[in-house]
């Protein structure tokens, strides 16, 4: 409890208008301007957040920092209460969406700490830690500043603002409440700073008693740390900031083990009659259940992975036939765009998290990281190895938020794939479904099988288990998938 206390606010009561200070700021500002170009060249994504007491000068300080930055590559976010839409997504969702691309700088006036700097609000500490750790593991640089002022100074500033008609509106009830209960807030802030000053994203408390000195201190911290980081990247190469992260053997998740692919029996049969009858019954049942989810505002995430030609498309089609088109959205996942490639790999999936009461169906998913990206070398070994843990954390976060998660692996054997490929090749209306890439992937079947077995072993958690769907027989596979979705919904509804 002394990140705030150890700052001697009285010490800072020097001359804020000295020429020397102005010069120092000018020099630091010019260095920041130059550094931004190097950051861009090195492709480092940077996030700078400013928290602090009301009236501590966050806004004007950010304005000053932005002046040193080329707006083509810098973006500022003002964080307030989540909107109605945002409140229906996981708490960290809206912050994931703000991620800067490689080489860009995002500056935050308030941040993901905003919601939890109000006394009495529950802390999303675990989620914040995961957010900052996953990003810094991936080479993001995060600066966290806290602007500190004394109770007396805050009171003085509030009075000044209130004294003029032009500024009185800027004083909020929250600011006044803060000043009145300064000591309580101070404890709350101390606690936040201590708990969340991670080695990978430490807090820097800066005295906000004098505006120019505060600016100098913030600039100086950014410039010094960025210069160190750039030197490291220069010396060790592009991937110097990539961290090992948490490896599978260190993960702490309760698992729901599944068999290896080679152990799966694929000989199931299903008569046409049985198929049509069951399909009709199950779709009707599913419709009723999804309406219940909608009314109870329970979100659901359904993931489809499987071999090429395993029948994902047809399976999804039959599943959604038992849903109301207004409740679900199918997200086909193709190769990432350049925008997506230049951010953390989970970014593009956070963009498609459903709101409460809705269902998101992913046709291919974030598991591409540990399959195609691993096999094709699009992800480094560090990246795909730590992805198991990142994915488990991601799914745990969705679970904790309240989502039902169902993950399907559609399993077929190599002969059936060949049959289906050949049929597609020979049927004019189906030719669009088959590409050279499919044939190339097929040649790597064995490597993929190793990767898939590892994936299922490492990510079949209790809260988001894999379901292997035997799909040599498409009818059987479709019925089984719908049954699993129905069961997952029933289980959740039984809990509440």
Where does this chain bind a copy of itself (CB under 8 A)? 34, 37, 40, 59-60, 62-63, 66-67, 70-73, 75-76, 78, 83-85, 107, 109, 166, 169, 288, 291, 295, 313, 316-317, 320-321, 323-326, 329-332, 334, 337-339, 363, 429, 432
Q: Helices 173-180 and 151-163 meet at what angle, rounded to 10?
A: 150
Phi, psi of 16 (to 5 degrees): -90, 0
Give the nearest distance from C-beta 136 to a copy of itself in angstroms. Answer: 25
Whole-number Å distance between alpha carbons of 389 and 439:
31
Q: Hey, which bits of 53-91 come out as E strands?
A: 74-78
The least distance separating a copy of itself from the CB of residue 37, rounded to whole angstroms, comes to 5
Give the phi and the psi of residue 3 in degrees, each rounded to 5. -65, -35
When the beta carbons of 85 and 281 are compared against a copy of itself, the nearer one is 85
Minimum CB separation of residue 76 from a copy of itself in Å reads 5
Nearest distance from C-beta of residue 326 to a copy of itself, angstroms: 4
Supply the minimum distance, in Å, between the C-beta of residue 86 and a copy of itself: 9
Nearer to a copy of itself, 6 or 326 (CB): 326
Of 10 and 334, CB closest to a copy of itself: 334
Give the shortest CB-197-to-a copy of itself separation in angstroms: 25
Residue 11 vs 496, nearer CB to a copy of itself? 496
Compute the residue count for the chain: 496
Residue 64 CB, nearest approach to a copy of itself (Å) = 9
- What is the rounded CA–CA span in Å between residue 322 and residue 115? 38
The residue among 62 and 482 lying less far from a copy of itself, judged by its C-beta, is 62
Of 109 and 393, nearer to a copy of itself (C-beta) is: 109
* Spatial separation of the C-alpha atoms in residues 73 and 363, rounded to whole Å: 33
Q: Which helix (H) or strand (E) holds 129?
A: helix 125-137
Min dist CB 456 to a copy of itself, Å, is: 25
| Distance from C-alpha of 412 to C-alpha of 42, rounded to nearest angstrom | 44
3-state secondary structure of 328: strand
Rounded Cα distance between 496 and 293, Å, is 11
Give the largest Cα separation in the chain, rounded: 89
Considering the complex, state which of residue 151 and residue 212 has its C-beta at the smaller distance from a copy of itself. 212
Rounded to whole angstroms, how far apart are CA atoms 451 and 377?
Answer: 13
- Please, which residue, 67 or 152, has the CB nearer to a copy of itself? 67
CA distance 226 to 28: 12
> What does the block give as tokens for 105?
């700088």
Question: What does the alpha-carbon distance between residue 431 and residue 33 come to, in Å, rounded to a whole number?
Answer: 53
């Amino acid at each position: 409890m002394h990140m705030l206390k150890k700052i001697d606010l009285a010490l800072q009561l020097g001359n804020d208008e000295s020429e020397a200070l102005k010069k120092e700021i000018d020099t630091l500002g010019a260095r920041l301007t130059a550094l931004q170009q190097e950051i861009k060249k090195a492709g480092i994504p940077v996030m700078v957040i400013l928290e602090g007491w009301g009236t501590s000068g966050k806004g004007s300080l950010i304005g000053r920092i932005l002046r040193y930055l080329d707006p083509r590559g810098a973006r500022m976010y003002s964080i307030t209460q989540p909107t109605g839409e945002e409140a229906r997504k996981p708490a960290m969702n809206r912050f994931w969406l703000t991620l800067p691309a490689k080489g860009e700088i995002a500056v935050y006036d308030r941040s993901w700490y905003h919601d939890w700097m109000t006394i009495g609000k529950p802390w999303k500490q675990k989620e914040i830690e995961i957010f900052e750790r996953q990003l810094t593991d991936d080479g993001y640089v995060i600066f966290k500043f806290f602007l500190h002022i004394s109770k007396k100074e805050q009171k003085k500033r509030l009075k000044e603002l209130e004294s003029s008609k032009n500024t009185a509106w800027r004083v909020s009830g929250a600011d006044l409440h803060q000043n009145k209960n300064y000591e309580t807030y101070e404890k709350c802030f101390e606690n936040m700073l201590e708990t969340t000053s991670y080695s990978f994203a430490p807090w820097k408390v800066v005295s906000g008693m004098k505006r120019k000195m505060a600016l100098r201190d913030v600039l100086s911290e950014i410039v010094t740390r960025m210069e160190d980081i750039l030197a490291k990247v220069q010396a060790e190469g592009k991937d110097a900031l990539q961290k090992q992260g948490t490896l599978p053997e260190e993960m702490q998740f309760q698992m729901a083990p599944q068999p290896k692919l080679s152990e799966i029996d694929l000989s199931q049969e299903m008569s046409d009659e049985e198929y049509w009858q069951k399909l009709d019954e199950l779709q009707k049942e599913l419709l009723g259940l999804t309406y219940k989810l909608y009314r109870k505002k329970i979100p659901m995430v359904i993931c489809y992975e499987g071999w090429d030609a395993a029948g994902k498309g047809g399976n999804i089609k039959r599943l959604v036939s038992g849903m109301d088109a207004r409740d679900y959205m199918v997200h086909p996942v193709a190769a990432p765009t350049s925008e997506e490639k230049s951010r953390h790999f989970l970014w593009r999936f956070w963009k498609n998290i459903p709101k409460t009461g809705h269902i998101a169906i992913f046709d291919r998913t974030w598991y591409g990281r540990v399959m195609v990206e691993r096999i094709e070398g699009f992800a480094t070994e560090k990246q795909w190895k730590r992805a198991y843990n990142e994915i488990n954390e991601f799914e745990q976060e969705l679970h904790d938020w309240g989502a039902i998660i169902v993950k399907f692996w559609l399993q077929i054997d190599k002969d059936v794939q060949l049959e289906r490929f050949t049929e597609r090749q020979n049927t004019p209306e189906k030719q669009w479904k088959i590409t050279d890439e499919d044939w190339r992937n097929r040649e790597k079947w064995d490597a993929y099988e190793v990767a898939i077995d590892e994936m299922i072993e490492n990510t079949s958690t209790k809260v988001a288990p894999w379901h292997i769907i035997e799909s040599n027989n498409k009818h059987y596979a479709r019925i089984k998938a719908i049954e699993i979705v129905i069961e997952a919904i029933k289980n959740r509804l039984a809990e509440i």
